[in-house]
A = this chain, B = another copy of it.
C-alpha cells in the first residue's frame, strides 16, 4: 500500500461517484468554538460513502469475475451500494438479506436491480447463504468493511476532504465495521502532514474502543444503539490499520447521538443517519479538546426512515 495506490483507486472510481460537497455552519462553529467542516457523504450516490468502496471492489475484479457476478450479505447501505455499482458496471449483484429485513431496505436494493436472496435472520445463515451463492454462481464475495479494495475506496472521501481543506487538525468518522475509519486513516497518513484521526462510537456498541485497549478484535453481546449502521465489529484487514493510525475512539451515550443528529438536521437542514451523528456528538462531548481546532467530520450517510425518527 502506498499513496499511488490510493490515487489510482480515486481516479478509477471517479466516474461512478459524486464528489460530495463540504458544508459548514456558523451557528455550529459558535456552539463548539471550533471550525468544523462536514464532508457530506449523505449526498453520495445511493446516500452513503459505501458507494466508494463498493465501486472500487467491483472495478478491481477481472472481466471474467465480473461476468459471474458479486454477492454480499448486508441489510444496510452496502447492499444498496453493491447493487448500484454493479448495475452501473453491468454486473449481476446477489444480495443476501434476512427475511425479516425492513421493506424499505429491500426496496432500496430493488431500486438498483440487485437480486435479493432471503435467508434466516442469523449471522450464520447469512454467511452460509452467501457462501452457497458464491459456489453456485461463481460470484465474488464483497465484504462491507473488511476488504482491502473496500477500505481503499472508502479512503477517497477523506482524500477529497483533505484536497479541499489541507490544514485540518483532525478528522472524525463513526466506527462500525471499521472500513470507513481505516480508509480515512490511510488518507490522513498519505495525504496530510499531521492530521489526526479519531473515531466516534456508541457506548452501547463499543467493541472498537475495547479492541484498541485489549489489542484484539472484541465483539458486542448486544446492540442497543440508535446508530444502526454501527452494530458490527472490526475485521482482520482493517483492525491493524486502525491500531496503527487511529489516535483514539471517543464513546458517546444514546441521548448524545440523538441530540447531535437533531442539531445537524435543524441547523444544517440536511438529513443524516443516526450513525453519522456519532462523531459530532463526540466533539460536542469533548469541546475543550477540539477548541479552536480545524475539524473535519465525515457524514457517512443519509438513509433513514423518515417515518421512524428517534426524536
Contact = CB atoms under 8 A, between A and B. Distances in A.
Interface of A: 21, 27, 42-43, 47, 111, 262, 265-266, 269-272, 302, 306-307, 309, 311
Nearest to A25: B43
Nearest to A264: B271
8 contacts: A42-B269, A43-B269, A47-B269, A266-B306, A269-B271, A269-B302, A270-B270, A271-B271
Contacts of A266: 306
A307 B311 CA distance: 6
- Copy count, this protein chain: 2
Given A265-B271, A271-B265, A271-B269, A306 B311 contact: yes
Contacts of A306: 262, 265-266, 309, 311
A212 to B, nearest CB: 32
A111 B266 CA distance: 13
A309 B271 CA distance: 14
A53 to B, nearest CB: 19
Contacts of A27: 111
The interface centre, meaning the residue of A42, A111, A266 with most chain B CB atoms within 10 A of its CB, is: A266
A17 to B, nearest CB: 13
A269 B269 contact: no
Contacts of A302: 269
Contacts of A269: 42-43, 47, 270-272, 302
Contacts of A47: 269
Q: Which 3 A-B pairs have the closest CB atoms?
A: A269-B302, A269-B271, A42-B269
Contacts of A265: 271, 306
Contact of A309 (B262, B270, B309): B309
Nearest to A302: B269
